[in-house]
């Protein structure tokens, strides 16, 4: 008959009277940008259980990378849509800068609401 530890799978090491599981954290395979790091900070501070779950299952870096990819896609869509209605850069430089600053701020608001702080 197998012990409960053998039934659970994995490897354990004996430390005194206790069996301690050999836990390893997988190396990150993904690059994580600004939005992925913001999501990680939010999870660490406000969603500790979800953060621990993602970390222990080895899915944290993949999740953060996916959030970052989606956020950059949203930002790119906002910018490409705004280019159609942007003022002429050569003649109205300050208006052009203001226009794209507003576009970026709007996109980041959507990203924060839909991806980061969920």
pLDDT tens across 60-98, in order?
Answer: 999 999 999 999 999 999 999 999 999 999 999 999 999
Contact assessment for residue 102 and residue 87, using Cβ atoms and an 8 Å cutoff: no
Q: Is the pTM of this model over 0.85?
A: no
Question: Which segments of 58-92 does DSSP mark as H helices, in order?
Answer: 60-82
d(CA 19, CA 16): 8
Contact assessment for residue 58 and residue 27, using Cβ atoms and an 8 Å cutoff: no
Cα 33 to chain centroid, rounded = 8
Q: Where do the structural domains in the chain lie, given as residue ranges?
A: 26-116
pLDDT tens across 35-64, in order?
Answer: 999 999 999 999 999 999 999 888 999 999
Which segments of the chain are extended strands (E)? 12-15, 18-21
């Amino acid at each position: 008959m197998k012990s409960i530890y053998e039934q659970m799978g994995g490897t354990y090491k004996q430390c005194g009277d206790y069996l301690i599981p050999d836990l390893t954290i997988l190396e990150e395979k993904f690059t994580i940008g600004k939005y992925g790091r913001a999501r990680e900070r939010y999870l660490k501070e406000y969603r500790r259980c979800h953060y621990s779950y993602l970390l222990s299952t080895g899915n944290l870096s993949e999740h953060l990378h996916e959030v970052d990819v989606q956020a950059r896609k949203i930002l790119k869509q906002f910018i490409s849509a705004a280019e159609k209605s942007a003022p002429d850069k050569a003649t109205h430089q300050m208006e052009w800068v203001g226009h794209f600053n507003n576009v970026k701020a709007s996109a980041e608001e959507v990203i924060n609401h839909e991806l980061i702080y969920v």
